[in-house]
Structure 1
Amino acid sequence: MENILTITGNVKYTITLDPGVWIFDDRRVDLTTYFSQTREITDANEVYTKAVSKHWDREIMEGAIYPPTLKTEKKFEKEKVLTGTFGIPFKPFLLNSEPGPDAKRLVVQTKSEEIEFPLDTAYDIILGYSKDGKPLITDGPVHIYLGDGSNQENPIKDIIGFTIK
């Protein structure tokens, strides 16, 4: 049970986080490249519409094409999952907890201290949960990376829970 984290406090719903299942989550990000890439903030609906339109146009012009490398792509993805360093954005979990209208801070409890962040900054946090394909057993279950990557070399470790105040 020490790998389970909770978001409690001034929230409508207490959220339980299990980093062991995030390896299967499509929201995962590769921490080796995440902070070096430029990211555009876009509307997910717009991105989806453009992707579907592009695919539809290609099928109209060329006919349906099934990629011959589907098996190798699956193998590559499996290999990447088994050897990669991954994290997941904290924002969806915070949004699902529905912080109270007067909530202003996120308090991160570690084994040795409590660290406070403004709630606006907390939405940009990335929770690292694996390194080189292995779960963070010794100083985990998650590491906190700030959204701007400023603590990329020295993330916050030994997290035991989150409280919204």
Structure 2
Amino acid sequence: MSPIILITGNVTYQINLDPTIWIVDERRFDMGSRFPGIDGLGISFAPFLANAEPAPDATQVILHRRGKETVTLTMAEAKEAIFQFAREGKPIHPDGPALLFLADGSNRDQPIDFIEKIEVV
């Protein structure tokens, strides 16, 4: 399992995300502050997506998952999503390297796991 998540597709810049280094990112926060009862550390997906510079006509984000079906989000859902990159003080394993939570918390009991690639379309 690679700790890297690739952002690719209809973007200006292909981005390699390494959740193992987010522990030192000052934008990180306690997951419990956004989703009461959820332990761990999180970070917003929006800045990473913005750095990839999606094309103006991009409308969706497809999450490719190791050994599982893809999940498609609208661009708006993706911009509001939260990555959980650590729980109980450790990297997300074996279902990581990061879990994706929708901002409205609707998937808090089943976050999107096993993410390998994020394709902007």
TM-score (norm 1): 0.69
Matched, 1:35 2:38: no
Q: Say which SS state the counterpart of residue 58 (structure 2) adopts.
A: coil
Q: How many residues align?
A: 118
Q: Which residue of 2 aligns with 1:21?
A: 21
**Which structure dedicates a bigger proportion of its chain to helix?**
1
The corresponding residue for 1:89 is 44
Q: Distance in 2 between matches of 1:85 and 1:120?
A: 24
Give the match for residue 131 of structure 1. Answer: 87
- Given residue 92 of structure 1, which amino acid in structure 2 is its aligned partner? P
Contact kept in structure 2, 1:7 and 1:162, CA below 8 Å? yes
C-alpha contact 1:35 1:148 (8 A) present in aligned 2 = no
In structure 2, runs of 5+ residues without a counterpart are none
Deviation at 1:33, TM superposition (A): 2.4
Amino acid at match of 1:133: G
Larger radius of gyration: 1
Q: Distance in 2 between matches of 1:106 and 1:20?
A: 22
Structure 1 stretches lacking a partner, 5+ long: 37-83
Residue 30 of structure 1 and its aligned partner are, at CA, apart by 0.7
Partner of 1:8: 8
- 1:161 equivalenced with 2:113 (yes/no): no
State the TM-score, normalized to the length of structure 2. Answer: 0.93
1:40-51 map, 5 Å: none
How far apart, in 1, do the equivalents of 2:88 and 2:109 lie? 15
Distance in 1 (CA, whole Å) between partners of 2:100 and 2:23 is 17
Of residues 58, 61, 70 in structure 2, which corresponds to 1:103?
A: 58
SS at match of 1:149: coil
Residues 30-63 of structure 1 deviation map (CA, whole Å, 9 limit, x = unaligned):
1122234xxxxxxxxxxxxxxxxxxxxxxxxxxx
Residues 130-162 of structure 1: per-residue CA shift (max 9 Å, x gap):
001010121100001001111112211111110
Equivalent residue number for residue 73 of structure 2: 117
Q: Name whichever structure is richer in strand by fraction.
A: 2
Give me the identity figure in percent.
Answer: 41
